[in-house]
Each structure stands twice: as C-alpha cells, then as structure tokens.
Structure 1
C-alpha cells in the first residue's frame, strides 16, 4: 500500500481547499463489514490531478460532480481525480472492513456478556479505513455525520449526538463539528454504560462497556473531579475557551495507545477502568493521561501541526501540561517525581539508540506517514516534555504562557509549524528562543554532566570548589545542590542555579564552608541530562539515599544509578544491593515502583548473567518481604501491593504462591483480586507448577476480556513443547488473534527460565515476524517487534540473526524500528555481561 509522502501532501494542499465532509455509516450489516458513504465538498484552486484515499472491502460507486467514475481505477488505497478549477463534490459509497488490530473501525465482542462495541482510531492515515478522505492534517474541514446502529446502542462522536427518527431505526445525527483534521474524526458505538454530568455549561460524560459498569461507577467521582479541575485550570491559563461543544471520555477495549485526543470524544484504553486494586501512583498516572489529552484540545486540536515532522508540537506540550496541570489542580502533587523515575528514562533510552532523532526533525526529514508513525516515542513525549520544562524554567512561566496564548490566537482552527511556535514565544520573551530551539529541538543525544569536586587539602577543610563538564552540550540551566558533611543528616543547603553554556565548560566555583558530603547536579530534575556523582558523593548516596528528605532528589539519584548500570559503570548487583538497603525505608510509591520495575525486568532478566540470576531474584524476594513486614498493619496499601506484585514475578519456587492462591489472600493482605490471581498463575506456569486445566478453571472464574488475555499469557508460558508450538501458531500461523491477544501470548512465550526449550524458535522468529508485520499492518508489527522479540536469548547468535534480518529481509518500517531498538538493547546487555566478567 502506498503511503502519503510529505511532497505529495504539500502538492495536494496547494491544489485543494476542503470545506465539508458528509459521512453516513451503517453499522448494521454484519460482523465483517460496514457501509460508508462520504460526500466531500472542496475547491480546486486550479486544474490538476490528485487523489483521494480509501481502503475499502468493496468500492461500489464514485461520482465527481454527478459524473460516475470507474471504481476499478482505485489503485490500492488511492482513487485518482482529474479536476478543473473551482468547486467540486465527490460522492463515494463503499463497504469497509472492521478491524481486530485497533486501527480504523475496531470491533470487539465482550466475552463477559456477548455485547459488541465499535470505535474508530483514525490516527495518522487510518481515516481512510472508515471513510473516503484527503487524509492529511493540513486539509481541515467541518464534518456532518449520521450513523445507523442497532436500536439499543448509543452512538458517540466529535460533537453532540442525538437520535433521529423512530428509535427502532437506530439513526443518530451528530452536530456539525469545528474544522478538524481527518485524523481526529471519531465514532464510538455500542451499548455503552454512561455517566453524565454538566460543567461550565457543557455536557461531560464517561462511557465504558457494560461489563465494566460497577468499576466505572466506583471511580466516576474521582474521574469527573479530575476532569473538572483540569478543565478549570486550563481556562485559568489559556485565553482561548474550550473550543468544542461537549466533552466525552470513552474507555474502549483493545486500544493500542494510552489514549487519543479526538476533539470532544477522547478515547482511553479501558484498563484505566480498574477492576483490581491499584496504587495511588497508578491513579495519578490515569489523572495525568486525562490532563494530557485535555491539553490536546488546544494544542493539537485547536492548533494542529501542518505535517508530521512537528508531532512534538502535540505530544511534548501535552506531556508537559499533563504533569504540570495535574499537580496544580488536584491532590496529585507528586507528578514530577513520577515523571522523573518512571517516564523520563523512556526518553533517555530512546535518545541513546541508533534510531534517535531530534525532538523536532528538520523540515523534510519525516518523508512519509510510515516514518511519521515511528516518531511517537520517548523523544517526542518524555524528552520533549523535559525540554519544555527546562524552557519554562529558563523563560519564566509568565512569558511562556503569554507566548502559548499568542500562538493559539494566531492559528486557531488552523495549522502551524515549529517556526510559528518559536516566533510566538520569542515575541513575549527577552531570551533568545530560536537559539534555544536550535540547541534543544534540532539536535539528538543525551548529555552526561559530571561534577569535579576535589577533596579539601589537609589538615583544614577550608572552602570547596566544583566544576562541571559535558561533551559540547546544548545550554543547560541546572541546579547544583550541596548537602552537609554529615552523611547521616543530609539536610540540603541552598541550591545553586547555574547556566551551563553550550561550550560544555563552567568556571570553577569557589564556595565557602566545608566540602559537602553530597554534591548533586540537576537536583529537582529540571534539565534533561544524565548526571554522575564524584566518588565521595556516590559513597554518601549509597549509605544515605533513603534519608534525603525530597523525593525528587532521591529520584535523580536512582536515575543516576540506573544510567550507570546501563552504561556498564555500575554492577547490576550493586544496584540491587542499594535497592535492598534503601527501598524498605522508602515511602514514595512512584520511586518504589520505578526502582523495583527496573530491578525486576532490566536487571534480573537482561543485565544479570544466567549464573547470577537466582541471586538477583533472591535479593528482590528478600527486599519485598522486608517491605511487607514494615507495612503490615499500616495504611501503606500501595507499597504492599507493589511488593506483592514483585514477589509474585520473582518467585523461584511455587509453594508460597500456591498457598496464597488457595487462601485467596496474602497473609495480612491484600486479598487476591483478578490481577493478582492471574499474575500468580502466570508465574506458576513459568515454573511448570500449573496445568491447562487450572488455567481453564481460572478463566471460568474470570471470563472477562482481561481473563482471556491472562489465560493466553499463562498457556504460552507453560514449559511444554506442545503448548509452545500452539502459542507460536496462534501468533504467526493465522490472523485470528486480536492485537491484545497477540500481545498477551507473546508476553507469556519468552521466559528466561526456559532458554533451552525456546532456543529453536530463534530460527523462526525473524522470518515469521517479517511476514506477520507485512500481512497484518503496523499495530501487529509493533507487537511482534516489542513483546514478540526473543528477549531472553541474550547472546551473539540472536544479535547476528537480527542484524541479518535488518540487512536482508526488508521488514516493514514499524517492525524495522522495533528490531533496531531491540538489537541495540541486546548489545547493551551483552556489554554489561562482559563488564561483569
């Protein structure tokens, strides 16, 4: 299928003005297809040839200005048009396919009750899977839509939806929208369970499938309170009022992203409707996603990128505002600690791989829609948000918001570029914003800032001095925080805020008083850089980390340790020893979750050699038992839940897990909810301590969609040649698995405890992954390259075969990017193994 190139989009934008779409969808035509009828009203500025995109099962009729066109001229997804100058009307009628991969019009039947739900994901170039479209972001138009659905269904869209005609007809009409890009057009249809309210004169609502109704109702108060508070905060800081006529939030099944910012109808993955216990940090993350998507109503929806090289204008801004506004407006004030420990590393990791790219690629660097999809990564989100946070520190919030509001005013309901954004900021600041953008947004890579603090000359402590070096970085404004010389009473001194120029050199700082026990760069995590500690400071950190009063300071230190492990400068066992010493005293759930996640996955499964892995798991088990002992009888439910999850995944013998499962609870709590039960069963499957009959019995107990995924994960994890082969065939031998079931099966398949059983599948992985990516599209390509990758085979043979695949097999762009990143991580793991001797 041809993808749209940047040059083609620019040519078509010069030719066309698109005014209005009339879309009629009939969702009552069976399980495989729906009818899509589209009328596009547009003007050609002059005579010329162009095309409209459409991916139909069957194209029935095409009429241009009343004249029939031959449907056979459709070439893959392009229908050619020859236009004269002036207004035109294009009428297209087609049958379209439902999707099982979360792209286009996704169809899901809930195994819990048999009800069916539909929703669209038209992101980047998938509008053409739903209706005929000039499918590029800078050809905005208004939309009128009607939908026919089963009579007991509710239809949702970008604007207010109302029933028309007799109820038995199932006809719905959606109000005319504001000008939208094609990738924002959204529909959702099904027997939704809904919670309605009104705020600021607008209808607000939450929607989920009926089987999740009790769980949505339990959290509706919190969800709506966060929504209202964030809405009001945005109205405080933005001059432009909310630009659409309603605000629906739909929690939809088998969603590929965390959420999607469709104007007026935000769609979320319905794992955010919690069926099981979660930590307060996980609730905070959900709140951040709500705030993130709401920010898009202005930055992305009101003002939209012109082409996909400026995707950071959407995602970096929404990422920054999501964390900041949630902290400003709600009880979740620890958002930046969570960002530091759990999100920022996503950007650091992506920025050190061969696939790294600037936050804002140069014009023309994103050549087509296939390459655009690859840039929705840790750089566009986490690094971009870090850069904006540093920019706000550098400019001051007042000037930053003045520039943002100027940008909204100048480009409302239109499209804009990086140059437009920088110009708006520059108009309201005395700082050199274009130079900042050139350094931070047009370059790639992570700086490492290293302090040099010499020991005091004997015998008197005297004054102390410090310098900082980095290899030719962009300019940093970074705090340097000294802590007193008593390592057991680390009360911070007043921080020093310094501008580190682009030449990578700072003058020697001669400071009064004794040399502190700990000197920490980037305290407060306001810049984007890896940091190192001088030897004395690192010794202090290892002994006193948990005594530091500020969780952000502790997060910066844990990140420094994480980066040192990844750079083979700190032994994985030393990181585990630090965790063993300090996490039992840690009260911040985000830090505990982040450190344990890195220790359990990256360290125990990848960076530790097979010989040392049992000791690593034993350390984690002892650490988690300490956490449980410390929190017994307290209200620290989040810490206990985090410890229990890690204990389950780290178990090397089945007895304790079997006892918990039989009792239905962990001693002193928590009780085993569905998530914990499936987690225990998955670990027992890895250990060969359960059977398919046990898995089937648990599925009978929990027949939900999540239960189906849990059962698929457990079956694939069994150390049995027959079940492994069945799992492999399900993933790569057919097209029956949905995106979520494919992912769950892949997650269960590769286990470090089963290396000998799994090694023969290395021969099959690369050709089979290439084939499924080509056959089933980008979403399954991502799953095959991410969760399907043979991550447990950390050896040169896996690396050799992967490099050969990239060289000779021509994988799709989505799979190529995933494999490139996975192989880089594999090289890193091999280097860490080598450093351990």
Structure 2
C-alpha cells in the first residue's frame, strides 16, 4: 500500500480545510473485526481531486455529499475523490480488523482472567486502520467519537466520556487536533479517579493488575499533579484539554503515547515485581515527558514529520528537568540521562544511518522515512542539544521563546523555522546560527583537554564543528583519603576558545571536560587524568561527574582506544563503592550486553562473565544490611544473568528467594528459569509448572522466552517456526521468543539459523508490517555471531534488494554494530 509523501500532503493541505470528524465505532461485532462509520465535514478551497485513506477488511459504503461512490474504487488504502469548490460531507462505513501487533486498534485477551481490552495506537499513519481520514498532521479538526462496547466495559477517549446505556459511550468534542492523536481505550478497566486543578484525572489498567496499580497509585498521581503544576509555572498557556487520563495498556510497542487527554503507557509500568528507585524514576520521567507533549505536540503540532525530533526532544528535555525540579522524590535524573539515555544518542549518531537532529524536509519524503527517525538522535541527542541551548541561552529566555511559540500557534501547526524565530524573539543571541550548527549537522564532536603545567593553562581541542559551552571540573587528591578526590574549581569555557583558560596552582589530579554534562560530545582525558580516573573513579565526589567519566571510558572502548578488559576491571574495582544506582545499572548493562556478549572473543567470554559474576556477588555482600534494596536487586539480577552456577540458581528457586533477600517474585523466577534454560539446567516440564504458577501475560512471555532458550534442536525449530512461519505471535510474544532464541553459549547449536535469518526476516516484514519488522531487526538478529563471515552475509543481504524500510534501517544499524564489534576485537 502506498505511504503518504510530503508532496502529496502539501498538495492536499492547500486544497482542503477539514472541520469535523464524527466517528462511530462498534466493538461488539466479534473478535476479529469491528465496525467503523465516519462522517467528515470539510471544505475544498478549489475544485480538484484528492484522496482519503482507509485500510478496511470490508468497505460497505461511501457517500460524498449524499451521492454513492463505488467501494470497489478503493485502491490499496486510498479512495480518490473528485471535489467541487465549497463544503463537502464524506460518509464511510467499513469493517476494520483488530491488530495483534500494537498498531491501529490492538485487541488483547488477558490470560489471567479472560478479560478483553482494546486500545488505539494511531501514530504516524495508522489512523486509517481504525477510521477513514485525511491522515496528515496539518489537517487538524475537531472530533466527535461514539463507541458501542460490550456490557461491563468502560470507554476512555481524548475527552470526558459519558455512558448513555446499551453499551453506548459518547466522548466530549475535542479541540482541533491532528488525526494521529485521536485515542480510544475500551475494556473492563480498573480505574482510580480524582480531581486536580478543577479537572478530572484518572489512572487505569486491566483488572488483573489492579492490586499493583493500587499499591503505586499515590506515587503515580503525586508525580502527575506535581508535573502538572510545574508546567503551569513554566508555561503561560493553561492545559488545553478537558481531562487527564493515563491508561496502562497491554502489548504497547512504545514507552507511551501523548494522546491529548488520554495518555497510553505500556503496562509494564504497573510493576508486578520489585523494582529499583531508578526504575520508578524512569516511570516518573515518562509521565512528565508525555505531559509536556500536551503543549508541545498536541496544542502545537508539527506541520510535517521532519520536525518530529522537536516534539520528542522537547518532551525528553522537559521530562528529565521537570521530574528533577518538581517531585523531590528521586535522585538527580540527569545522572540517569547521562549514563543510559545519552549512550543511545551517541551510538545512533555514529552509524551510517545517522541524520541531523532536524533533517532537511527533503530527507523525509514520506511517512515510511519519517518513522525511521524515532531513534536516539531525535530523543537523546535532541534533548542534549536543547540542554546545551538552555546553558547557552539561559532558561528565562528559553521559556520566553517557548511561550511565544505556544501563543502564536495554539491548536495549529508549526515548523522548525517557526520555533527558531520564536526563540530568537526572546534573545539577542544568534539562535539561527546555533540551530544551523547544532540541528542541521550529524556526528559527535570530540573534546580533549591539554594541560600546560608550565603556563598553568587548559586548552580544549575539538574534533568537529559545533560550538560548546562547557564546565571543566578540576580535581585534587583528598589529603584525608587518597582514594578520593575533591573539587578545586569549575571553569566555564566556550569551545572553540579565544585563548587557553588560566588554571593556577599545582597540576590537578583530574580534569573533566563537560563536568555537569551540559553538552553533547565524546570526551577524552589527558594521559595523567586518564590514569588517575582508572584508580579513583569512585572517589569523584559528584555522581554526574562520575557518569561523564564512565561515558568517556565507554566511548574509548567502542572506539578501540581502551581494552574491554580494562573497562571490566575498572568496573570490578569501583562499582562496589558506587553510591548512584543509575551508574551501577548503566555500567553493568554495557559490560554484560556489549563487552561480555560481543566485544571479547568466545575464548575470553567465560572470564568476562566470571568477573561480572564476582562483581555482582560483591554487591550482594555489600547490601546484606538491607539499607540499599535497589542495589541488591540490581546485583541479584546481574548475578542471575552471568552465572554458570546452576546449583545456586536451583537453590534460590527451591527456597523461593535469595538468602538475605529478595524473595523471588515472578520477574526474578522467570529470570532464573531463563538462565537455567540457557545452561541446560531445566526442561519443558519445569517451564510448564512455572507457567501454571504464573499464568499472566508476563508469564506467557516468560515461558516463550524460556522455551526458545532451551539448548535442543527441537526447541530451536519450534521457536523459529513461531517467529517466522506461523504469524500467530503477538508483538510481545514475538519479542520474548526472539530474546530467548540466540544465546552466545549456544552458538554451535544455532549456527544454521544465522543465514536463515535474512530471507526469513525479509519475508516476515513484508507479511506483517513495520512493527514486527522492527522487532525482528532488533530482537531476532543474531547479534552474538561476531565474525567476518556473518558480516559478509549481512552486507550482501542489505545490498541484494528492497527491504521494508523499518527492517532495512534496523539491519543497517545492526550490521554497523557488528562491524564495530569486530574492530574492537581486533584493536
């Protein structure tokens, strides 16, 4: 089916002014399809031809101004219309298919209790899976939505919903919004409702998760209220919708979606098992991120998808900043951003698929190309750029520009040029030049310090082209404790420098560029600082500074400038003393998934895993006093993932917990069983017994992961058939199966599947579409197979023919990561 091009969207926007949609959905017609009737009121500015989009199972009838059109005229997903100048009414009646891939109208039946839930995810171009629409962001309209649902169901929508009896629910008329922001969620929801600032607030989940939502309801609602109030302090424009509901929905592909008045979240954020404070902080950040979209994205919406970065970068920046300012409940969120989120951006920006934060409109010719830009650049790099902009511009002028943007484009559409013009109106600084340097370029700059002890000066060399406003941290040994450092000074430096910065006094023990992490650049240490950092990293007094240094070491490993084993040894030496959990989680994550699984050779992998197991055991011992349950939980998770001691794992399963805690909740039990499956220490009967114990949706995913991880030819064949042949797995069950399938310990067993992946994934993507294509490229790729033969095979496949864009982009990134892993091994 054709995708919408930018040229087509511009042509249609010049022709049409869309006023109102009246959408009637009937969710009582069966398990496979639902009925959709749409009435669209619009004006044609001149006579001309255009099209409306729709992907029905059956198109029953179409009328334009009361005249019947031939349903057989539907070509792919387009119904062409010939219009006279003036007012028009289009009516479309169709049967639509429910989705199992998280696109369109997703339908889910909870294995815990048999209850069914549906919800929409209409982002980009999936509106047409639910109702007929002129599906582009700059054709905003008001929406009246009516839903017929089964008895006992509650219907949620963008506005307050009213039940009129006989399963009929009416949503309040929306303000002008884009088609992709329309939302419906229906089912026997467990709901907690309250009111804040005169508006109804609600949180919702499926009934089987009710006890878990109840446990966290106060925290979720407190964060919601605090962020809401903080945004009203920052933004002049009040919240623009009539209610604020947050629905935690099953099998959701993204983290969340900013539907006005009805934000949908993946329901893993309703925690069934123990989590760390850092994970709770992440949930809070996502709440704040999505709420920021109510203004930036929903009130003011992009004109075309080349500006999607601005929606996401702004919400990302505001999410982290607002949780830091408003809640007082969590550690410094910017530490987690530095150690975890920015790595996503740095990695994406060094691949062949990199693109400017704000790509040229011609580089986003259609919706398929736009979808590929939902990556670490549009989120993490863009947020980093905005953080640098605030450091350079000042928050007062930044917010003044933002408020001018909201005022000038409320309930309308805007472009990057509009955004920059509005920022420029609030300052004397050359924001346009800043935007060209930061938003229209690709790649990561590298900053390196050069200290001259004779002159007492610090020069910063830059590989790259962007201006940077940074802070250089200067540290001396702590005379009372040789393992620790103390801050001597922080120097404000603009790069490029007019002259080296003056740095009086003795030679510092450590100089850290970008102390405070206000810019986006790879950092290097001078030789003296590098040696001291490896010895005293845990003695740096500020967690954010430690995160900056850890990021520098990570980049050096990836660039072949630091031995992977040196990074592991540094982690072994310093993580037992680390006090910030985000750093522990970030360092252990890189050490296990990148170094142990890919960057060291198969011969060296057992030693790497043993080191990580010993490190996890040290952290477990450190937390025996019960004062840091989050660190203990993190250590237990990593011990499970790296150990080969089956007896210990079986003992924990039998006892139901780790000596001294924690108890093995469902997440930990499935984690243990997965590791035992990899090691050949369990079987189908044990997996089935565990599934009887936990028959939830998460249990189904755990069982699928374990079965795919069993080290037998039969288990691998069954898993492969489920992923690539049967087409019956939902998006989440597909992902769980893929996560279990490839295991470095089983390289010989799965060797025959490496060449099979490429044609099978290509055919799968063509059959099942972008969401499954992306999942196949991300999770089903044989990432463990780091060898030249695999690289040649992968490169040949990428060059051999047309791939669905979502799969091509994911494979391009995976193949580049494979090249990097080979370079690291050789270095």
TM-score interval, smaller chain: over 0.9
For 1:757 and 1:477, locate their aligned partners in 2 and report how far apart those are by CA, in whole Å: 52
Are residues 1:111 and 2:111 paired? Answer: yes
Does the alignment pair 1:543 with 2:523?
A: no
Q: Residue 251 of structure 2 corresponds to which residue in structure 1?
A: 254
Once the two structures are superposed, residues 168-223 of structure 1 have per-residue CA deviations (whole angstroms, 9 ceiling, x without a partner) of x1000011000010000000000000000000000000000000000000000000
Residue 422, structure 1, aligned to residue 420, structure 2: yes
Which residue of 1 is the match for residue 371 of structure 2? Answer: 373
> Is residue 181 of structure 1 aligned with residue 178 of structure 2?
yes
Are residues 1:553 and 2:545 paired? Answer: yes
Partners of 2:502 and 2:392 in 1: how far apart? 24
Does the 8 Å CA contact 1:467/1:506 hold for their aligned counterparts? no
CA deviation string 1:634-673 (max 9, x = no partner)? 3200000000000000012311111111110101101100
1:288 paired to 2:285 = yes
Q: TM-score, normalised by structure 1?
A: 0.98
Distance 2:277 2:576 in 1: 18
Shift of the alpha carbon at 1:485? Answer: 4.9
Provide closer, same or farther for how the CA distance between residues 770 and 506 of structure 1 changes in structure 2, counting only shifts above 3 A.
farther
Contact kept? 1:153, 1:192, Cα under 8 Å: yes
User: What SS class does the counterpart of residue 543 from structure 1 fall into?
Assistant: helix
- Secondary structure of the corresponding residue to residue 749 of structure 2: helix
Q: How far apart are residue 511 of structure 1 and its match?
A: 2.2
Structure 1 residue 464 displacement after superposition: 2.2
Aligned residue in 1 for 2:677: 685
Residue 348 of structure 1 corresponds to 346
Q: Is the 8 A contact 1:403 1:428 kept in 2?
A: yes
Q: Residue in 2 aligned with 1:450?
A: 448
Give matches, 1:91-170, under 5 Å.
91-164=91-164, 166=165, 169-170=166-167
* CA distance in 1 between partners of 2:416 and 2:196 (Å): 34
Aligned to 1:89: 89
User: What displacement does 1:806 show?
Assistant: 1.1
Q: What pairs up with 1:151-550 in 2 under 5 angstroms?
A: 151-164=151-164, 166=165, 169-330=166-327, 331-454=329-452, 456=453, 464-485=456-477, 488-501=483-496, 507-550=499-542
**Structure 1 unaligned runs (5+)?**
458-462
1:697-726 deviations in Å (ceiling 9; x for gaps) = 000000000000000000000000001000
Cα separation, 2, equivalents of 1:43 and 1:104: 27
* Residue pairs, 1:564-603, within 5 angstroms: 564-603=556-595
More moved, 488-497 vs 397-406: 488-497
Determine if the alignment matches structure 1 residue 761 to structure 2 residue 753. Answer: yes
Aligned to 2:667: 675
**Cα deviations by residue, 1:467-495 (Å, 9 ceiling, x for unpaired):** 11112321000111111156644111221
- TM-aligned CA deviation for residue 363 of structure 1: 2.2
Tell whether the 8 Å contact from 1:326 to 1:333 is kept in structure 2 after alignment: no
Counterpart secondary structure, 1:492: strand
Q: Secondary structure at the match of 2:609?
A: helix
SS in 2 for 1:580: helix
Partner Cα distance (1:825, 1:613) in 2: 18
Give the SS at the match of 1:338. Answer: helix
Unaligned 5+ segments in structure 2 are none
- For 1:783 and 1:691, locate their aligned partners in 2 and report how far apart those are by CA, in whole Å: 27
Kept after mapping to 2: 8 A contact 1:49/1:81:
yes
- Judge conservation of contact 1:653–1:687 (CA < 8 Å) in 2: no
Q: What is aligned with 1:695?
A: 687
- Aligned equivalents of 2:83 and 2:219: distance in 1? 53
Contact 1:469 1:506 in 2 (8 A): no
Alignment TM-score, normalising by the size of structure 2: 0.99
List 4+ stretches of structure 1 deviating above 4 A: none
Corresponding residue for residue 773 of structure 1: 765
CA–CA distance in structure 2, aligned partners of residues 185 and 781 of structure 1: 25
Mapped partners of 1:472, 1:329: distance in 2: 36
Q: Is the 8 A contact 2:493 2:501 kept in 1?
A: no
Do residues 631 (structure 1) and 623 (structure 2) align? yes
CA contact (8 A) 2:462 2:495 kept: no
Q: Deviations over 1:140-189 (max 9, x none)?
A: 0000011000011000000010001x3xx100001100001000000000
Kindly report which structure 2 residues correspond to 1:730-809, keeping only aligned pairs within 5 A, or say none.
730-809=722-801
Q: Is the 8 A contact 1:205 1:247 kept in 2?
A: yes
Q: Is the 8 A contact 2:444 2:464 kept in 1?
A: no
Alpha-carbon distance between aligned partners in 1 of 2:211 and 2:752, rounded to the nearest angstrom: 46
Hey, what's the Cα distance between the residues in 1 that align with 2:136 and 2:789?
Answer: 42
For 2:343 and 2:533, locate their aligned partners in 1 and report how far apart those are by CA, in whole Å: 20
What is the alpha-carbon distance in structure 2 between the residues aligned to residue 100 and residue 133 of structure 1? 22
Contact kept in structure 2, 1:110 and 1:704, CA below 8 Å: yes
The CA deviation at 1:506 is 5.2
Of 489-498 and 546-555, more deviation after overlay is shown by 489-498
Mapped partners of 1:488, 1:101: distance in 2: 52
> What residue is the counterpart of 2:73 in the other structure?
73
Give 1:333 shift.
Answer: 4.2
Using the TM superposition, give the Cα deviation of residue 547 of structure 1 relative to its aligned residue in structure 2, in angstroms.
1.0
The change in CA–CA distance for 1:403 and 1:333 in structure 2 (over 3 A counts) is farther
Deviation at 1:630, TM superposition (A): 1.1
8 Å contact from structure 2 (residues 73, 79) kept in 1: yes
Secondary structure, counterpart of 1:304 in structure 2: strand
Structure 1 CA distance, aligned partners of 2:82 and 2:789?
A: 54
**SS state of the match for residue 216, structure 2?**
helix
Shift of 1:771: 0.4
CA distance in structure 2 between the aligned counterparts of 1:92 and 1:283, rounded to whole angstroms:
44
Deviations 1:557-598 (A, max 9, x none): 100010001001111100000000000011111111111111
- C-alpha displacement of 1:810: 1.4
Q: Deviations over 1:423-465 (max 9, x none)?
A: 00000011110000000000010011111124x46xxxxx522
Separation in structure 2 between the aligned mates of residue 663 and residue 506 of structure 1, nearest angstrom: 66
Q: Does 1:816 align with 2:808?
A: yes
Cα distance between partner residues in 2 of 1:511 and 1:823: 45
* Structure 1 pair 40–821 and aligned structure 2 pair: CA distance change class (3 A): same
Distance in 2 (CA, whole Å) between partners of 1:132 and 1:550 is 54
Taking only aligned residues, the RMSD between alpha carbons, in angstroms, comes to: 0.9
Find the aligned partners of 2:793 and 2:269 in 1 and give their Cα distance: 38
Report what 1:830 is aligned to: 822
| Equivalent position to 2:643, from 645, 651, 669 | 651
